[in-house]
Amino acid sequence: MLRVVLGLSVLSCVLVTSSAQTCRNQTFSNRVFATCRDLPQLTAYLHWTYDQASGRLDIAFKHAGITSTNSQMEAQGTTLEEGAISYPVSGLSATFESNQVTIFATLTLPNGTSSLVHVWQDGPLSGTTPQEHSHETSHQNSKEILDLLSGSSTQATGNSRQKRRNTHGVLNAVSWGILMPTGAIIARYLKVFKSADPAWFYLHITCQASAYIVGVSGFGTGLKLGSDSEGVEYDTHRALGIVLVCLGTLQVFALFLRPNKDHRYRVYWNVYHHLVGYATIIISVVNVFKGFDTIEIYVGDRYNSWKHAYIGIIGALGGIAVFLEAFTWIIVFKRRKSENKIPHGANGVNGYGSRPQQV
């Protein structure tokens, strides 16, 4: 079944509550429609007549409960640019009276079309320029799959992009934002304990390798989201993601080029490995929050609980790191003190050697 996406946007300055009504008691001068439907959100109604044989669909979209103090609205003088769509539209007109906007149009749908996905919205004007609509639940749910023949509908959830967006966020937050810092904590603090050698090394490698693999997958989902969102740019978030993948790849190569402990270049490798590693962790955490900031622009505070959960996790990791930093330094100082102490009597009296006899 072919589904055609029909987007109908109604723009207003101020929204107010309207009196209850149904599409069946609405009439139009010189126009009669065969079917109508009370849309479930935003006090909106859709009337239509559809000839499946020719694909001709005559519609009237009505949005009630609107007041406007802007004369441009009443004159349909908004600066809304037309965009190309995949099927012909003719007879496009609109009226504004009795606090109701009605849009009329005739669409020619592809042969055999029996249903379509339609979306309706409203939003404010700034002068004569349409602004972004609200992200409240009623606006998020103002879409459905409409059967043009029976008049029935089912909810169009739009889960595909949302699932990809959620997948992208989870993969990157878990990999770059959690596993990477965890792997660094393991390497820095567990190796202080002699009993943890070489287990700490394999835990570190496992954690960082997993973070890199999952992170690259998350990066791929981000590229797909970007390609599917033409005209939407997340320059900073995207650039930081590219930098992270490059730094992570450098760390992978560093593993294969790691000199032996007694090699003269090992000290330089350590400096390189630590600098790149800490830079990766810092940029990772920053970019996770940048991702949250980016998504808030489009869906408001819907992901605040996710953001707060991540703040709690990264805060806990930071607290653990601070505690282990102090604890391991205490162990190191005690170990050095013990190693520097010479056993009693080993070199004369009190271990400090005997005084030479005077002749």
Would you say 107 and 84 are in contact if contact means Cβ atoms under 8 Å apart? Answer: no
- CA of 160: how far to CAs of 6, 157, 163, 213, 322, in Å? 18, 8, 5, 23, 41
Residue 217 is encoded by which pair of tokens? Answer: 């997958």
DSSP 259: P
Q: For the chain, give me the number of helices (H) and strands (E)? A: 8, 13
Structure tokens at 229: 């969102």
Are 286 and 172 within 8 A, CB to CB? no
Q: Where is the binding site for heme b, in residues?
A: 168, 204, 237, 273
Asked if residue 273 lies in contact with residue 220, where contact means CB atoms within 8 angstroms, the answer is no
Where would I find the beta strands (DSSP E) of 98-247? 100-108, 115-123, 125-126, 129-130, 143-147, 153-155
Closest by CA position to 109, among listed 158, 46, 58: 58
**Structure tokens of 97?**
């009276």
What are the φ and ψ backbone dihedral angles of 7, each rounded to 5 degrees? -105, 125
Residues annotated in the binding site, as ranges? 168, 204, 237, 273
d(CA 311, CA 353): 58
Element (DSSP H or E) covering residue 353: none
Do residues 115 and 3 touch, judged by C-beta distance below 8 A? Answer: yes
